[in-house]
Amino acid sequence: MLFDFDRGEMLLIDKPLDWTSFDVVNYIRKTITKYLNHKIKVGHAGTLDPKATGLLIILTGKKTKLMEELLNLNKEYLGTMKLGETTPSYDRELEVDNTYPFDHISENDIYNLAKKFIGRQEQYPPVYSAVKIEGKRAYEYARENQDVVINPRFINIYEFEITKIDLPYIDFRIVCSSGTFIRSIVRDFGFLLDSGAVLENLRRTKIGDYSVTDAHDPRLLNDLLEQFH
């Protein structure tokens, strides 16, 4: 057998743009069910936002027991933020709600501020996020225009490297603890520069020692299993 999905497999997936993490799980579950003719457990070890791409670890069968262990691994991301704009979701999922000047910001301001983000700190997750509040996702409250209070959480940023500045765009690399919202970092970054900032794009490149260079498009699994079905 090519895969032993019942005993358990770990699949490194390169999540496509605009797919939710659940979309990936659902697609793979349906693909495997068709292949095996019976249902099995399928889950992911760490959510990626729809507007983010990159590494998503999918677990099947008995290997879903590894989920908690993998969720706690550090993450690496590559991204681009745009100064001078904000959106309610802090990324491009929603339309711009405010614009701000950014011509007062120098490259030194940007490099110096990035250094100040290093270390353990409190972070407020975005209202438009999958954080659960009383059994309901925060984004569900937000989409219903209900006031929602999300408690801050402690995160750790180990590395924050500014890789390119072409204002209003800033490219960056971040290594951080599990549970960190890069969208919130971008939101705070713009605020502390006395402007605004929105996350243009984001790619998760590593989860612990697992790399996106070893990951595959989820649709390739269907093509592969079709050959053996």
Report the amino acid identity of residue 129.
S
Handedness of CA 28, 34, 35, 40 (dihedral sign): positive
Angle at CA 31, nearest 5°, toward 27 and 34? 140
Among 102, 82, 101, which Cα is nearest to 91's?
Answer: 82
Which tokens hold the place of 128? Answer: 């438009």
Among 73, 42, 50, 20, which Cα is nearest to 221's?
Answer: 42
Which tokens hold the place of 191? Answer: 């605020």
Calpha distance 85→158 (Å, rounded): 27
Among 42, 95, 2, 55, which Cα is nearest to 216's?
Answer: 55
Length of the chain: 229
Question: Among all residues, which ones are annotated catalytic?
Answer: 49
Among 83, 84, 79, 53, which Cα is nearest to 163's?
Answer: 79
CA end-to-end span of the chain, whole Å?
11
- List 98's β-bridge partners, or say none: 86
